[in-house]
Amino acid sequence: MATTPSLEYIEKTTKQSVDASVIWLHGLGADGSDFVPIVDELPLGGSLGVRFIFPHAPVRQVTVNGGMPMRAWYDIIGLGEGGIEEDTSGLAEALSHIVELIGGEKERGIPAERIVLAGFSQGAATALYAGLQLEQAPAGIIALSGWLPAATEIKPLSGLDDLPIFMAHGNQDPVVPLRLGLDSSRRLTDAGFRVDWHEYTLEHGVCMAEIEQVGKWLKSLLG
């Protein structure tokens, strides 16, 4: 019997028979429903069977938002010129949730090399952090309008150096400045990762051109 994850999630498949999964993490203050509509917009083609998992982050107080309770993968303590100050214990908790979700997909017959981690904003940061801490590398990581948390340990694991990473960012983003995305991309590239970087003329969000590029990248990765 498959283990029941501690986080509730929304599930959407592109076909009745699937052989790959995408675990998609929402941004701060949103929930799993935020990116469900994107599945129908991705140009994956009719032959690719993918299960999309959209989990709901736990509700917690977020320091940078005046302690207001909201769905968040971990607490963000502060924002400044030096970057984003994050709760490292919360990051570790988020990692445990991702490991649990991946374990659930493995129990349903999807191997790690067919599981993609994706996310937007704080969800993108969480996907990058988790993807680089896993004992077994995922198929790839999609990070939209996000950043690489400072606490991320970039370590040589089996197959990790070949881990494909798709990163995209709006060049007018007032929430997560483009600089944070670019710095994260450079840090990963300097460490030897294959980063596919894209910039779009938009603020803190996604656009159709970006969605189409994500779909093409996923199709190339999983097709």
Per-residue model confidence as pLDDT tens digits over 125-140? 999 999 999 988 899 9
Q: How confident is the prediction for the chain on average, in pLDDT?
A: 91
- Give the CB-side neighbour count of residue 99, counting CA atoms within 13 A: 13
Tell me the pLDDT tens digit for each residue of 95-104.
999 999 999 9
**pLDDT confidence of residue 4:** 63
**pLDDT confidence of residue 91:** 93
173 is catalytic: yes
- Give the CB-side neighbour count of residue 119, counting CA atoms within 13 A: 29
**pLDDT confidence of residue 1:** 43
- Which residue out of 121, 145, 184, 185 is catalytically annotated? 121
d(CA 167, CA 116): 13
204 is catalytic: yes
**pLDDT confidence of residue 63:** 96
Residue 181, SS3 per DSSP? helix
Question: Percent of the chain, pLDDT > 70?
Answer: 93
**pLDDT confidence of residue 158:** 45
**pLDDT confidence of residue 190:** 87
Query: Which pLDDT band, with edges at 50, 70 and 90, does 3 fall under?
Result: low
**pLDDT confidence of residue 153:** 72
| Rounded average pLDDT over 61-72 | 96
Question: Percent of the chain, pLDDT > 90?
Answer: 78
d(CA 77, CA 39): 32
**pLDDT confidence of residue 93:** 95
56 is catalytic: no
**pLDDT confidence of residue 157:** 46
Query: Which pLDDT band, with edges at 50, 70 and 90, does 192 fall under?
Result: confident
For the ranges 41-50, 74-83, 101-110, the lowest mean pLDDT is seen at 74-83
* Residue 198: partners with Cβ closer than 8 Å, 6 or more residues away: 166, 167, 168, 169, 210, 213
Tell me the pLDDT tens digit for each residue of 106-115.
999 999 999 9
Tell me the pLDDT tens digit for each residue of 143-184.
999 999 987 877 654 455 578 999 999 999 999 999 999 999
- Which residue out of 21, 173, 184, 185 is catalytically annotated? 173
